[in-house]
Amino acid sequence: MADPLTLTTTPRGGHAVGIDVRGDLDHATAGELLEAATAVLGTAALRDLHLDCAGLGLCDSSGLAALLVIRRRAGEAGVRLHLDHRGAGLDRLLDLTGTLEHLTGDPAPPPGRTRDAEGVRGA
């Protein structure tokens, strides 16, 4: 069963807001995150939006699409998006889809390396 999504928005002093994301981000729930983040992005003088992913369960392609739309809207609003406390699953998805650097600013590993590192036979 999919875990329901719980979102908790907390001001983090100054010009930052955090959204704690708990549960699965999928076709049924991605819209909620998009809505919550878009509402926060309307805040005056916001500079940083932190999505705390520590409690994030599964993230499917709809979840990823929501993150990418949030990233675009943040960019348009002059806000930096941070995906904090990412798990291995989310990192793998971002890496596979070539969106890791775009969403996090971290450079992506070259093709094949992550899988070799997991002990999968390579050529």
Partner 1 sequence: MTRTWLSAPWPVLQVDAEGIISQANDAARSLLTGAAPGVPLDDAVPHWLARAAPGAVARGRVGESLFEAHPTVDGAGVLWWLMDVTERERVSEALRDERRRTAFLAEASNELLSSLNLDRCMEVTARLAARHLADAALVILPESGHRYPVAYCGPDGRVVRENLAVDPGQVPGLEEALRGFPPMPSRWIDPAAAPGWLAREGLGELGSVVVTALPGHGVPAGALVLLRRAVHAGFSAGEEVFTRLFAARAGAAISAACLYAEQASITEVLMRELLPPRTRRLDGVELAARYRPSGATALVGGDFYDLHPGAPGEESLVVLGDVCGKGLEAAVLTGKIRDTLHALLPVADDHQRLLSMLNQVLLTGERNTFVTLVLASVRRDGPRVRLRLTSAGHAPPVIVRAGGRVEETHTKGTLIGMLEAVTSVTDTVTLDPGDTCLLFTDGITEARGGPLGDELFGEQQLLEELEQCAGMPPEALTERVQMLASEWAGGGDQDDMAVIAITAPVEPRPASERSPAR
Q: Which of 24, 22, 29 is nearest to 2 (CA)?
A: 24
Distance CA 44, CA 95 (A): 33
Among residues 7, 16, 77, 96, which is the contact residue for partner 1, using CB under 8 A?
96
Residue with tokens 């983040």: 37
Q: 30 and 62 in contact (C-beta within 8 Å)? A: yes
| Closer Cβ to partner 1, 1 or 45, answer by number | 1
Among residues 23, 62, 85, 91, which is the contact residue for partner 1, using CB under 8 A?
62
99 is a contact residue toward partner 1 (CB under 8 A): yes
105 is a contact residue toward partner 1 (CB under 8 A): no
DSSP 42: T
Distance CA 34, CA 68 (A): 10
Distance CA 120, CA 63 (A): 27
97 is a contact residue toward partner 1 (CB under 8 A): yes
Subset of 17-36 contacting partner 1 (CB under 8 A): 27
| Closer Cβ to partner 1, 40 or 64, answer by number | 64
- Which residues sit at the interface with partner 1, rule CB under 8 A? 1, 27, 60-62, 64-65, 68-69, 72, 96-99, 102, 108, 110-112, 115-116, 118, 120-123
